[in-house]
């Protein structure tokens, strides 16, 4: 008869709870929120069941609900009515993202962290994350000028954490310098350091009504490259990033573990739209247990090393956690 019986620690719910190695807490979740210009009510996103494009009128309730559930923060994305080659709406004080930021800050009343996506893809008519040169290629250094201007406008609007998601070389250093020069030294930077050119972004592009033609492989990471993800994170930390990110989460847990093991700053991960949509679609067909799959997927990301997870289930999952309903 075996003397060593690991099953003893799995025998009852109370025992399993007591010896659990990876716990979930609402404060370790961030809710991405889309805010659409020119609508008066939420607009459902067909490829992301349960997720909507919020109006400025519905945004306060979404923020308040997240805060009441104990969610740590909200990440805002703007969906403008008009776009142009330089993404002018991104730096317009009255542009949808900057207005939404002010609305969210008021609604949050300090109960959670209001964060903003800093990228041009939602605002350009070509759908790329930067400005284009005469050859139609993304111009890295000209884009940094636009990012710096975006950063200042978002900071003025009240964003406490800027999510640099464009994957331009030198973006952290450029934005940090711009913020510091204008005395926004307390505004933090989240660098989307290891952001891969993934197929799992498809539903997100529906959510922001992306006009992209082609792909972003010249600036997002090759899905086959593991070491490069860690290298990018280390560069961003050296440039002054306060937090680094791995995106997507589920298919890049090895990269996430690498970054978490090496990083001296917090490491976050984004459970992206395609990951959300796959679970929702399978659950809708009765092929998987939705609740268990949601919990397991987020717990797996935390287990791999993420300090915080951006997930579209943040408010719902936080409610389950607060109610002790993770069985």
CA distance 299 to 260: 15
3-state secondary structure of 102: helix
Is residue 327 scored above 70 in pLDDT?
A: no
Is residue 105 scored above 90 in pLDDT?
A: yes
Q: Which pLDDT score, from 0 to 100, does residue 210 have?
A: 77
The per-residue pLDDT for range 25-73, each reduced to its tens digit, is 999 999 999 999 999 999 999 999 999 999 999 999 999 999 999 999 9
pLDDT-based confidence at 261, cuts 50/70/90? very high
Q: Is 66 part of any domain? A: yes
| pLDDT, average across residues 235-257 | 98
Domain count within the chain: 1
CA atoms within 13 A on the CB side of 199: 2
pLDDT-based confidence at 206, cuts 50/70/90? confident
Is residue 312 scored above 80 in pLDDT?
A: yes
Q: Is 99 part of any domain? A: yes
Is residue 217 scored above 90 in pLDDT?
A: no
Please, what is the average pLDDT of the chain?
95
Domain that holds residue 74: 27-196+203-212+224-322
The per-residue pLDDT for range 182-197, each reduced to its tens digit, is 999 999 999 999 999 9
CA distance 314 to 89: 28
| pLDDT, average across residues 68-89 | 96
Burial label for 55, CB within 10 Å (0-12, 13-18, 19+), is middle
- CATH number at 293 reads 3.20.20.70
Q: Is 232 part of any domain? A: yes
Phi, psi of 20 (to 5 degrees): -60, 130
Distance of CA 115 to CAs 95, 163, 182, 291, Å? 16, 7, 19, 27
Q: Is 300 part of any domain? A: yes
Q: Is 18 part of any domain? A: no
Q: Which residues are catalytic?
A: 195, 247
Q: Which pLDDT score, from 0 to 100, does residue 202 have?
A: 82
To the nearest whole percent, how much of the chain has pLDDT over 90?
89
Place of tokens 């111009």: 139
Q: Is 22 part of any domain? A: no
Q: How many helices (H) and strands (E) does the chain have?
A: 11, 10
The per-residue pLDDT for range 13-26, each reduced to its tens digit, is 999 999 999 999 99
Q: Is 3 part of any domain? A: no
């Amino acid at each position: 008869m075996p003397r060593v019986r690991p099953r003893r620690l799995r025998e009852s719910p109370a025992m399993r709870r007591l010896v659990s190695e990876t716990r979930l807490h609402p404060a370790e979740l961030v809710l991405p929120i889309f805010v659409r210009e020119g609508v008066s009510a939420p607009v459902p996103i067909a490829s992301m069941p349960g997720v909507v494009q919020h109006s400025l009128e519905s945004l306060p309730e979404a923020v308040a609900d997240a805060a009441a559930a104990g969610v740590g923060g909200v990440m805002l994305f703007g969906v403008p009515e008009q776009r142009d080659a330089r993404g002018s709406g991104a730096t317009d004080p009255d542009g949808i993202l900057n207005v939404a930021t002010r609305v969210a800050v008021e609604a949050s009343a300090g109960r959670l962290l209001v964060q903003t996506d800093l990228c041009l893809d939602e605002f350009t008519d070509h759908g790329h994350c930067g400005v284009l040169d005469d050859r139609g290629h993304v111009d890295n250094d000209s884009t940094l000028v636009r990012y710096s201007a975006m950063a200042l406008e978002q900071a003025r609007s009240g964003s406490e954490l800027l999510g640099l998601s464009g994957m331009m070389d030198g973006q952290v250093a450029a934005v940090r310098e711009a913020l510091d020069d204008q005395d926004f030294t307390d505004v933090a930077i989240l660098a989307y350091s290891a952001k891969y050119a993934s197929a799992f972004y498809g539903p997100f592009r529906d959510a922001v009504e992306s006009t992209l033609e082609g792909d972003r492989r010249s600036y997002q990471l090759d899905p086959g490259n593991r070491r490069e993800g860690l290298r990018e994170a280390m560069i961003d930390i050296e440039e002054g990033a306060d937090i680094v990110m791995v995106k997507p989460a589920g298919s890049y847990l090895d990269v996430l573990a690498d970054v978490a093991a090496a990083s001296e700053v917090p490491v976050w991960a984004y459970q992206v739209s395609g990951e959300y949509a796959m679970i929702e679609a399978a659950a809708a067909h009765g092929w998987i247990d939705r609740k268990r799959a949601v919990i397991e997927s987020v717990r797996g990301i935390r287990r791999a090393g993420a300090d915080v997870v951006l997930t579209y289930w943040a408010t719902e999952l936080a409610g389950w956690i607060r109610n002790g309903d993770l069985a």
